[in-house]
Chain A
């Protein structure tokens, strides 16, 4: 099936041993579109994202990307930002480059990206010293450096306080729009979903309730 969006998922099924997480899941995301998926904790939202990015293999169904040829350009933001403690902020962000740059160019790009998320001067900071919001913004910058055509956001702001969460959600939306990047954002917070998304779907829109075999 040829799709015209960024990703087209149909009839996807995933189970762990005896437990079926989801079955018959369908989802379509258009170019530059931000889709939010609302669902309760434990319903399988994260598993879906892990299937899309390739960390888990689906049991059945189709998962088609717009550009089937070449490397898939999918970014991922985990619930807890995964920043390597042996590297500083700049070192962590530099891992996101797809191409090799000399050190000066690399530093300039990273400084500009950090500036765009209001984190100028954080390049040499140790990652342990960052607040939750700062760490998540560093992870976001790193994910976007790979110029993904689809960014997967796995409740990345859920650990933040309400005010920070609102601010970073709006900032992320602006950033995604500015860079013409599509995104799937999973969350259990309807306000967060409506703040970031062009289209909000509930988990039951995608799939029927989970069942145990």
Chain B
């Protein structure tokens, strides 16, 4: 039984979190409802008639499904080979494959745009995926499919972004599976064929993890915003549709049609994402330690160094993983030069100098970086304790045999992922700000959506760590007669310290790279974050040759900062940790 004071404190935290994460959404819905005069059911019925809504839904479901399948197709062979053999510098390989997930989407979008532009290798090989001429153009013409090149780049970018999900979920299980299981299976009648081994051993072992990673990949591709905005400019997903109409939505007697679109699209998106989250949560429970795990060293040593085929697969994956980042870095030094004899490209620091000094309409890189860091630190100061306390509350409920409450709260902490960044931003914009306009003056307003969006990640990192702390550590400390503080430190904190650093680094990385909500909320200009700065710069007309190098310099700074945070996180990650984040 929880003590009363503790119960009250935990209840307050849970309520304040649910209020914080749910209020903007509820406010937004209320506002949109009053503008449109439609209740949620009417809005859902109206959805097929809303302009562009069905097209957006079809495109969203299609791109998210294909992205999830492609993530499995690309990620599974890499995870398989990485997990089954003894690799030199395995932790470095893992870190490189995991970095894409925390890369700011705006940087990824820029990286992929560079990989397909007219100076790229793909273009030189005859694959024009951007302006869709040549092979891609004739494919579009014959199949009657508008912009197949854009679609292809988007789903590949999503697969790149979610690659680490597959590796973080599947690879640790493979790397720590007791080799005796595989040996035993090969000696049994049903395990003599490859198919039999897959059916009776490998699918039960990694199947739930693969499905879990695929469903999360679907979820993140479904709510992707920056990549859609930049890579498929002629198509809308539900997310980008809401963002594009968000500016005029929620205003009485003005463009009521936009409010109708936003209201119905947000509800449809919420329902689909809720179903995807429920599926993910169920799969995560199945993706448990039902199998005999040994130390990674024992397992991989028994299979020895990777054969040539495994090396080729992993090295090809490495090239895929670093290409967009490398493209962004090199483009920051590459400046277009036009003269009477034509256009050529040269290497210079002009883009960096321009980014460093800023201009009349955009901030300097230093100012934007300062803003980003301030927001990230403020987000961390709130999200970490809040996420920690929520995770420990879920754990307490589990220990005290309230599994249904624990599961409900676990699912509730995932809800902000179902609301999406743009909807959270819209929620604050439409609901809170139009009710309390004075909040617009508050410089730290973007911290609110950042907290809402990062708390679920803190919970996802901390909860497995808290579950793995066995009571024996505390009992041993008590038997040794340590003080309550030392008992807490040695018997509990020392086991969750590493994950807390991981959660902190990820929180800061996500806050730094967050784009959707910031893009909607940061209107003042002087409070632009690095990700908003990159978008602003890239939105300018390209006749200025410094536009792209300047944007890429800002993107590179953002990328490097994320890299540093991620490598700090990797140092503290416990062995065999496979939480997906």
Q: Which residues of A contact B (CB under 8 A)?
A: 53-55, 71, 74-76, 78, 82, 84, 86-87, 95-96, 98, 142, 146
Contact = CB atoms under 8 A, between A and B. Distances in A.
A96 B480 contact: yes
Interface string B482-514: 100000001000110100000000000000000
A2 B472 CA distance: 33
Interface string B394-414: 000000000000000000000
B475 interface: yes
B189 interface: no
Q: Which 6 A-B pairs have the closest CB atoms?
A: A82-B476, A86-B494, A76-B479, A95-B480, A82-B472, A55-B475
B477 A95 contact: yes
B479 A95 contact: no
Interface of B: 472-473, 475-482, 490, 494-495, 497
A71 B478 contact: no
B472 A98 contact: no
A146 B480 contact: yes
A84 B481 contact: no
A142 B481 CA distance: 12
B490 A95 contact: yes
B472 A84 contact: no
Contacts of A86: 490, 494-495, 497
Name A's interface SS. loop
A65 to B, nearest CB: 15
A111 B494 CA distance: 25
16 contacts: A53-B479, A55-B475, A55-B478, A55-B479, A71-B481, A74-B479, A76-B476, A76-B479, A78-B472, A82-B472, A84-B473, A86-B490, A95-B482, A98-B481, A142-B480, A146-B480
Contacts of B482: 95
Given A84-B490, A84-B494, A86-B494, A78 B481 contact: no
Find the residue from B475, B479, B495 having the highest chain A CB count within 10 A.
Answer: B479
B109 to A, nearest CB: 41
B473 A82 contact: yes
Contacts of A54: 478
Contacts of B473: 82, 84
Nearest to A50: B475
Given A78-B472, A84-B494, 15 more contacts: A55-B478, A55-B479, A71-B481, A74-B479, A75-B479, A78-B476, A82-B473, A82-B475, A82-B476, A84-B490, A86-B494, A86-B495, A95-B480, A95-B482, A142-B480
B475 A146 contact: no
Nearest to A80: B472
Contacts of A75: 479
A100 B562 CA distance: 44
A47 to B, nearest CB: 13
A75 B477 CA distance: 11
Contacts of A146: 480-481
Nearest to B475: A55
B572 to A, nearest CB: 11
B353 to A, nearest CB: 47
Contacts of B477: 95
A1 to B, nearest CB: 26
Contacts of A142: 480
Contacts of B479: 53, 55, 74-76
A136 to B, nearest CB: 13
